[in-house]
Structure 1
Amino acid sequence: MTVHTAQAECGNFQLAFYELGALYFKAPQGGYAGIDKDVIDELSKRSGCQFQTVLESRVRIWHQMSQQTLDVTVSGIATPEREKFARFIPYFTTRNFLLLSSSAPARAHSPEGFLSEPNLRVAVVKSFRHGALYDTWLAKLREQNRVEEAADFDSVVRLFMAKRVDAFLALPTSLEPLRRKELANSFIVLDWAPFDEVRHGLVLSRNRVPLPVMELMRREIRNMHEDGTLEKIYARYVGAEQAKYLLLKTTE
């Protein structure tokens, strides 16, 4: 397929990014950088699809997707509710870690132990999904009004720094930048769900992105996985070792 044919088959779509760790961040030299940006740039080059990009909060993105007023977004997690209005093309997999205050009691180092400490609170980004174990655990905490929900990950970190919460959840793509900051000694990292595989993908509006275009994008992302391009992009931001953990075990 030539680039001209791909362009004719594809089109021009509005795509929303959101800031989160190594996925999408403001670069020191200006502009934005990150895994999601590089994946989209490469996808556009290969498919001929053109993307008009905006920066939004994750809450607004999911609202717009559900209302069919946005074409595409990035690194989203499929749920039965979301699949009613969107199709998903996975391009990396990961899992969440709990970052717990170093001053929290040792008993809180397990999900059950944290639940048994009624004064402990956790912060999450509103509308995020975190995998089966964490979502079940968070549901129990919500019943006790022990969950603070913020609009974005930076706000979650600020809640933790202000000691308004005792823990928060982070992906490896967000964890590495945190370890380089001054607050690194204020938390310990707990891996409560080592067997979780939370697949993140391109999110395409069912009503606004034609099925043939979705298949075109899926094919190009699969090619990026098979020829090593995705692994190179991941390694650029999280290092070669962590990049291997982000690779999908199987592609669709």
Structure 2
Amino acid sequence: MLARLILCAALLCLTGTAGAHGDCGHLRSAFYEYGALYYKAADGSWTGIDKEVVDEVARRMGCTIEPTTDSRVRIWAGMNGGNIDMSVSTVSTPEREKFGRVIPYLSERNYVLLHQNVPAEVRSIDDFTADHGLRIGVIKSFRHGKFYDAWLTQLRAQGRVYEAADYPALLRLFKVGRVQAMMSISSGWYQLKQEKPPTPLRVMDWAPPKDSVIGGLILSRQHVDEATAERFSQTIRAMREDGTLKRIFERHLNAELAARLLNY
């Protein structure tokens, strides 16, 4: 009888320990609306690549992840101020690495979308730069890779860059012709082309072949310890290896673009 009680106590201890290390508690995750990454479905619910990735990570790790939706600028302020524990589709920079650890899960490429009113003669980045009547829109605080960031710095000095607060605001400016071009990754312009009717535009790929950007979860260094961050990394790695990431990407993009997102 004593032996049986000791065995039961040992099993309870083991179970309690597994529970303590088997979940990641309650985390606050901030999402931002952007193309196929995060958008509203027909029924009004939020969906997209970022949401599915976070939901699957939470399921596998036993986390409770509370979602909020905000602009990228306010998300960075929340991460810096300790009010947000994690966010999504983040490009690592030295400044961001100071307050968060980035766990990659997709590789994206930036494109320049040209409005239908842009003259057909504008075919290259030099053509666009030479026409001082053309302006481009970006989302405030976004990074677009070394090539495009250097180009945008040049255009900013000429007063030709408009910074929108978020993706919906940028789309409105583009659709009414307030800006003649906008920066977009493939998961942004792909969704535009799926609209009925689709937004008339030209997708220009002007960056060097290897000028891609890596996006990932960013985990607050203040609220998520290194051991938990490593578990996030292992979970994302397992999702890539077992094909889960690919299936998530393919639910929101075509097969060709989905495959490209795995090139990181």
Pair in the same fold by TM > 0.5:
yes
Output the amino acid matched with 1:242: L
Equivalent of 2:236 in 221, 226, 236: 221
Per the alignment, residue 40 of structure 1 pairs with: 54
Per the alignment, residue 239 of structure 1 pairs with: 254
Larger radius of gyration: 2
Equivalent of 1:18 in 32, 56, 60: 32
Equivalent of 1:151 in 165, 169, 179: 165
Output the amino acid matched with 1:192: W
Q: How many residues align?
A: 249
Instruction: Please tell me whether residue 165 in structure 1 is matched to residue 179 in structure 2.
Output: yes
Q: CA deviation at 1:176?
A: 1.4
Q: Secondary structure at the match of 1:138?
A: helix
Distance 1:89 1:105, change over 3 A: same
Instruction: Please tell me whether residue 58 in structure 1 is matched to residue 72 in structure 2.
Output: yes
Instruction: Give the root-mean-square deviation of aligned CA atoms.
Output: 2.0
Output the amino acid matched with 2:145: G
Question: Do the aligned residues in 2 keep the contact of 1:68 with 1:85 (CA within 8 Å)?
Answer: no
Distance 1:239 1:18, change over 3 A: same
Distance 1:220 1:127, change over 3 A: same
1:79-118 matches, cutoff 5 A? 79-118=93-132
Question: Do the aligned residues in 2 keep the contact of 1:16 with 1:73 (CA within 8 Å)?
Answer: yes
Q: Using the alignment, how far apart are the partners of 1:5 and 1:12 within structure 2?
A: 14
Q: Using the alignment, how far apart are the partners of 1:3 and 1:216 within structure 2?
A: 16
Q: CA deviation at 1:182?
A: 5.7
Distance 1:117 1:215, change over 3 A: same
Q: Which runs of 4+ in 1 moved over 6 A?
A: none
Q: CA deviation at 1:248?
A: 3.4
**Normalised by the size of structure 2, how large is the TM-score?**
0.88
**Normalised by the size of structure 1, how large is the TM-score?**
0.92
Question: Do the aligned residues in 2 keep the contact of 1:3 with 1:46 (CA within 8 Å)?
Answer: no
Per the alignment, residue 191 of structure 2 pairs with: 177
Instruction: Please tell me whether residue 210 in structure 1 is matched to residue 192 in structure 2.
Output: no
Q: Using the alignment, how far apart are the partners of 1:134 and 1:65 within structure 2?
A: 26
Distance 1:175 1:187, change over 3 A: same
Q: Structure 1 regions of 5+ residues with no counterpart? A: none
Q: Which moved more, 1:66-75 or 1:116-125?
A: 66-75
Output the amino acid matched with 1:91: Y
Q: Structure 2 regions of 5+ residues with no counterpart? A: 1-14
Q: Which moved more, 1:46-55 or 1:120-129?
A: 46-55
Question: Do the aligned residues in 2 keep the contact of 1:91 with 1:248 (CA within 8 Å)?
Answer: no
Question: Do the aligned residues in 2 keep the contact of 1:14 with 1:51 (CA within 8 Å)?
Answer: yes
Q: Using the alignment, how far apart are the partners of 1:181 and 1:216 within structure 2?
A: 38
Distance 1:43 1:141, change over 3 A: same
Q: Which moved more, 1:76-85 or 1:6-15?
A: 6-15
Identity, in percent, stands at 45
Q: CA deviation at 1:183?
A: 6.8
Q: Using the alignment, how far apart are the partners of 1:56 and 1:185 within structure 2?
A: 25
Output the amino acid matched with 2:66: Q
Q: Using the alignment, how far apart are the partners of 1:68 and 1:122 within structure 2?
A: 33
Question: Do the aligned residues in 2 keep the contact of 1:122 with 1:168 (CA within 8 Å)?
Answer: yes
